[in-house]
Amino acid sequence: MHLDDEQVERVRHGELPRELEKSIREHLAGCSECRSRVAEGQRDEDWVYSMLRVLDHPPGRIDANAVVARAGGTGLGRWRWAAALLVAVSVGSAAFAMPGSPVRGWVREALEWIAPRGNSPSPIPTQSPRQPAVAGVGVVPGRALLILFTSPQSSGEARVSLTDGSEVVVRTQSGAATFTSDPGRLVIDNRSSTAMFEIQIPRVAPRVEIRVNGVRVYLKDGDRARAGNVTVAGDVYVLRLSLPRS
């Protein structure tokens, strides 16, 4: 008995059932006709696959983290994030409303940073205290933290500074981005954004890396910091969020 089509294919693809493998290998060793059919099947397959390759286009740069960012984390993660956001907003509002609170000053400073007066004669519109136009997140950096901007921007910068605090803090104007955090990772979904971001990193953080669309633009490793596509203004690294075209 010679091998049938099914067995010839399975021999070539390593898909023989374990119980038949020995007997089929033994048959092949003694049967030139079946060996020839196996070889012919391989040549045929090689030709077909070489034809299929003419249809191919390279997939481009798509990385797992960008897909995860679009997925928005697991359901549990999303609920936890929503709860954390609710708590943060409540605490922030209470602190803002408290008489003599320094939070108002911080918010004012942040607003001025986001929309600086410069030489413009027009005054900055007064922001309602009930609608602070700042969004942000604070995360404990742990042993290593990756901050991932999901997209390059047509304009906009991230200003990175070192602080004596214990949390990595990222701020931008409200609505400019959404934040998702997992252990060791902070994903900033900044699609279609042209916003400025302020990133504060604790000096004691062992390792913090910032990537834009998968490309590393900043790395703090121990006491050393490295950055590309950057200008340094005093103690502040100014990272361009618009990646250079190759």
Q: Which is nearer to other proteins, 163 or 242 (CB)?
A: 242
Residue 139 CB, nearest approach to other proteins (Å)? 13
Q: Which is nearer to other proteins, 29 or 55 (CB)?
A: 55
Interacting residues toward other proteins by CB under 8 A: 4-10, 13, 15, 41, 44-45, 48-49, 51-52, 54-62, 64-68, 70-72, 74-77, 151-152, 182-184, 213, 245-246
The Cα–Cα gap between 246 and 244 comes to 6
Q: Which is nearer to other proteins, 56 or 223 (CB)?
A: 56
145 CB-near residues (< 8 Å, 6+ apart): 139, 168, 184, 185, 186, 205, 207, 208, 209
Residue 202 CB, nearest approach to other proteins (Å)? 21
Q: Which is nearer to other proteins, 87 or 232 (CB)?
A: 87
What number of other Cβ atoms are within 10 A of residue 9's Cβ?
15
Torsion, Cα 39 44 45 50, to 10 degrees, reads 130
Residue 205 C-alpha from the chain's centroid: 20
Residue 65 CB, nearest approach to other proteins (Å)? 8
The Cα–Cα gap between 64 and 67 comes to 5
Residue 9 CB, nearest approach to other proteins (Å)? 3
Classify the C-alpha dihedral 21-24-27-32 as positive or negative: negative
